[in-house]
């Protein structure tokens, strides 16, 4: 029997224990048992010291495969910070386009909603090109289109005029030849962009021929030779056509805003 076993035996059981009786601690022989208990306590103390050192070493060496020791792990940021970082930056709305092309396109969209978008874009470009090449006010071109066809690309007049600007085929063929515009016969005038290109060129020629815009607009409708004869007789023609075009010019000018080139409205008001 070891000293530990002997110490426990003398501590918890009496020699006279019997079955069915609760154990009663017996007397301890201090002279015989105290050295053994001291040795047990010493061993337990050593064990605690060794286990504590091993546990501390394990904690200091504990690390994740990618970050290092536990004490160096980053603290997760608050959820609010994550939400702020993840929130996309507010997008600024594009600035409105106030260019001449955009204003012309807006008028065409409002007055010719059934026209194909690609045709509206081509017509807008033809009007803007006429502004640069012939110094024709885009507002005047749009006003003539309104008066002639109400923005209907397939409009046909009683005297054979066709398209948006109601150009007669023989006049269109002559204008196309002088300005190197592709011409494939009368059907060319049913192409909205080609019709406006030819019609705006012809209107520009009338403005060059007659310094007075009112006479130029009348000549577009009546023909230049007739207007010249009337002027030679001392008449200043102001047909109902001219009055209607001028009203359209005023309406469109208020919608489109000021234009950098000389406005036909200003010229007509002089």
Q: Which fold has domain 100-269?
A: Lysozyme (1.10.530)
The backbone torsions φ and ψ at residue 15, rounded to the nearest 5 degrees and listed phi first, read -65, -20
**Residue 149 predicted with pLDDT over 90:** yes
Q: How far apart, in whole angstroms, are the C-alpha atoms of residue 38 and residue 121?
A: 105
Q: What are 64-107's pLDDT values in tens digits?
A: 444 455 445 455 555 555 555 555 666 665 555 568 889 999 99
User: What is the token pair recorded at 261?
Assistant: 């080139």
Residue burial 242-251, b: 16+ Cβ < 10 Å; e: rest: beebbebbee
| For the chain, domain boundaries | 1-14+25-70, 100-269
Q: What is the mean pLDDT of the chain?
A: 78
Q: How far apart, in whole angstroms, are the C-alpha atoms of residue 103 and residue 94?
A: 16
Q: What are 24-65's pLDDT values in tens digits?
A: 555 544 445 455 545 545 555 555 555 555 555 555 555 544
The confidence band for 204, taking pLDDT boundaries of 50, 70 and 90, is very high
DSSP state of 162: B
CA-nearest of 179, 194, 173 to 134 is 179
């Amino acid at each position: 029997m070891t000293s530990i076993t002997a110490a426990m035996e003398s501590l918890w059981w009496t020699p006279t224990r019997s079955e069915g009786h609760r154990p009663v601690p017996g007397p301890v022989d201090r002279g015989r048992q105290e050295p053994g208990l001291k040795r047990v306590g010493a061993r337990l103390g050593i064990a605690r010291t060794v286990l504590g050192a091993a546990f501390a070493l394990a904690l200091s060496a504990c690390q994740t495969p990618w970050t290092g020791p536990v004490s160096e792990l980053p603290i997760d940021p608050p959820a609010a910070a994550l939400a702020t970082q993840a929130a996309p930056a507010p997008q600024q709305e594009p600035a409105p386009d106030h260019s001449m092309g955009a204003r012309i396109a807006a008028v065409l969209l409002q007055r010719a909603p059934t026209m194909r978008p690609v045709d509206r874009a081509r017509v807008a470009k033809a009007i803007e090109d006429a502004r640069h090449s012939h110094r024709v006010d885009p507002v005047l071109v749009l006003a003539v289109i309104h008066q002639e066809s109400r923005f209907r690309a397939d409009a046909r007049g009683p005297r054979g005029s066709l398209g948006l600007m109601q150009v007669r085929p023989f006049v269109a063929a002559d204008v196309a030849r002088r300005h190197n515009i592709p011409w494939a016969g009368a059907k060319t005038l049913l192409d909205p962009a080609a019709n406006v290109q030819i019609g705006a060129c012809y209107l520009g020629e009338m403005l060059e021929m007659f310094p007075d815009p009112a006479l130029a607009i009348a000549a577009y409708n009546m023909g230049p030779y007739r207007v010249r004869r009337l002027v030679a007789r001392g008449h200043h023609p102001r047909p109902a056509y001219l009055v209607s075009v001028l009203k359209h010019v005023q309406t469109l000018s208020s919608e489109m805003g000021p234009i950098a080139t000389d406005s036909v409205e200003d010229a007509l008001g002089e």
